[in-house]
Amino acid sequence: MPPALDLRRQRIVVTGGSGFLGGFVVEQLRSRGCENVIVPRSRAYDLRDMRAVERLFDDARPDVVVHLAAVVGGIGANRERPGEFFYDNLMMGVQSMEVARKRGIKKFVAAGTICAYPKFTPVPFREAELWNGYPEETNAPYGIAKKVMLVQAQSYRAQYGFNAIYLLPVNLYGPRDNFDPKSSHVIPALIRKCLEARDKGAEEIEVWGTGAATREFLYVEDAARAIVAATERYDGDEPVNIGSGSEISIRDLVTLLCKLTGFAGSVRWDATKPDGQPRRCLDVSRASELFGFSASTSFEEGLGRTLAWYGKHRAGR
C-alpha cells in the first residue's frame, strides 16, 4: 500500500456531512484526530450553483474534499423524481470536482453508487462491468448522474494530474437512517412498516415486488471506515466497490425483519410494483487489496443496532 495521507494535518470538507453516511464519516475523521473538518450546509452553499461552490472553497480553503452530498431515495422516490435525481446529483458532483481541480486541492473523494451498474451485471459485480449495459430503469437517472463523476475523475487525472478517486458504496443501513416512507430505502421502510403493523395489531403488511430480487447491505459505520481508509491510502484511477460481499433476497429480508420486530402477521406481495435490479452483490476484493478494507459488522448485529436506535427515536416515543 502507498504511504498514508496524514488526514490530521488536512483541512477536510465533507459535503453531505450532516447526512446519514456523512455524519458517520465526520465522526470517523474526528475520532482519528482530524480537527479541521468542515461540514457545509445546503442552505448556505447550494452545490447546484457554481457560485455557491466557489464560495464554499473560498471560505473553507480545503486540502481534501470528500463528496457525499446527494439526493437519494428508494424506488418510489426515484420513479417520481427522476429529473431531480439526475440534475441535482450531476451538478453537485461535476461542479464540486471542477472547482476542486481549479483550486489545486490535494485529493477529491467521489462517492458513486451501486445503481451505476448495468441492470443485468453478473454476480458478483466487478468494477470492470460498469460500462457493460444500461442501469436498472427505475434508478438509472440517479446512477448515471453519479457515474459521470468517474469519467470526470479519470479525465482530470489523465489531463491535469488531479488526484480524484471514485468509490461505489452498496446499499447502506444503520442508526440515523431516513425512516420516512415516502423517501426511505428498503430496510428503514420495512422496519417502520413492521413496527407500525405490530403496534396496531395488523394482520398483514404489503411489500412491493415479488421478493425475488436480492440486495447487498453494508452497515453505515463500516462504510464510513472504508471511505476514510480510501481517503488515506488510495490514489488510483480505477473505481472501487465498497460492500460486505454477501446478498440476501428481499423475501428473506422481510422474514428476518418480521422476526426481529415481533410482527407475527402475513406478508402480501404486490407484484404490480417493480422489484428493481434483479440481483446486487459486489466483488469487494479490490478494496481489501488497495486499502485494507473489509466489513466487520454482521448483518443481524447491524440490524439489531438499527432497530434499537429507531426504537428510541420513533415519533411519540
Complete DSSP assignment for 146-193: HHHHHHHHHHHHHHH---EEEEEE-EEE-TT----TTT--HHHHHHHH
Angle at 238 (CA atoms; ends 37, 217), nearest 5 degrees: 70
Q: Of 45, 117, 134, 142, which is the active-site residue?
A: 142
Distances in Å between the Cα of 62 and the Cα atoms of 108, 221, 235, 291, 293 are 10, 24, 18, 23, 25
Q: How many CA atoms lie within 13 A of 298 on its CB side?
A: 3
Distance CA(315)–CA(241), nearest Å, equals 35
Is 142 a known active-site residue? Answer: yes
Backbone angles phi, psi at 175, to 5 degrees: -60, 150
Annotated catalytic residues are 142
